[in-house]
């Protein structure tokens, strides 16, 4: 099995350092576990594209890099470890987490159908997935699976 060239790893590490990113994302780049800096969220909202990131500041901007707990969310015990991380923009990560949390709550607490959840999200004017203007049962299901 071939390894990623050290120069490719170093270029990505340098890119992350320029953006003031530390922690698990930098560790992953150093180990060849991160191939490129690209928003991996199912829905990316950046008008500049999946590969455009702002420097990480405090507080971070919507378009700064963010380590998303995936596939096991932090709320369910997921850790920021290479096997449980994907890269996203702060906003894309926050929106995705919000959808999953809201949908799971409606399923668990109110035993609602996907159609009922879609109607509730539309009624409350919750931003629909990128490229659509309304929630449907299918888009609710996809949001759950993301």
- pLDDT (average), residues 50-71: 94
pLDDT band at 8 (very low <50, low <70, confident <90, very high): low
Share of the chain above pLDDT 90, in %: 59
Q: How many residues comprise the chain?
A: 146
**Res 68 pLDDT > 60:** yes
Share of the chain above pLDDT 70, in %: 92
- pLDDT (average), residues 51-80: 91
Q: Within a 10 A sphere around the Cβ of 44, how many other Cβ atoms?
A: 21
| Total-model pTM | 0.78
What is the predicted pLDDT for the residue at 6?
Answer: 63
Of 83, 87, 96, give the one whose Cα is nearest residue 142. Answer: 96
What is the predicted pLDDT for the residue at 146?
Answer: 65
CA–CA dist 62, 102 (Å, integer): 20
Strands (E), 50-142: 65-69, 85-89
């Amino acid at each position: 099995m071939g390894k990623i060239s050290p120069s490719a790893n170093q270029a990505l590490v340098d890119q992350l350092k320029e953006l003031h990113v530390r922690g698990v994302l930098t560790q992953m780049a150093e180990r060849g576990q991160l191939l490129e800096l690209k928003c991996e969220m199912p829905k990316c909202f950046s008008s500049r594209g999946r590969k455009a990131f702002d420097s990480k500041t405090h507080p971070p901007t919507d378009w700064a890099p963010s380590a998303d707990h995936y596939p096991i969310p932090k709320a369910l015990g997921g850790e920021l470890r290479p096997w449980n991380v994907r890269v996203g923009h702060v906003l894309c990560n926050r929106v995705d987490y919000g959808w999953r949390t809201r949908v799971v709550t409606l399923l668990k607490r109110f035993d609602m159908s996907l159609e009922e959840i879609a109607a509730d999200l539309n009624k409350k004017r919750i931003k629909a997935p990128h490229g659509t203007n309304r929630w449907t049962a299918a888009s609710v299901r996809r949001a759950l699976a993301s």
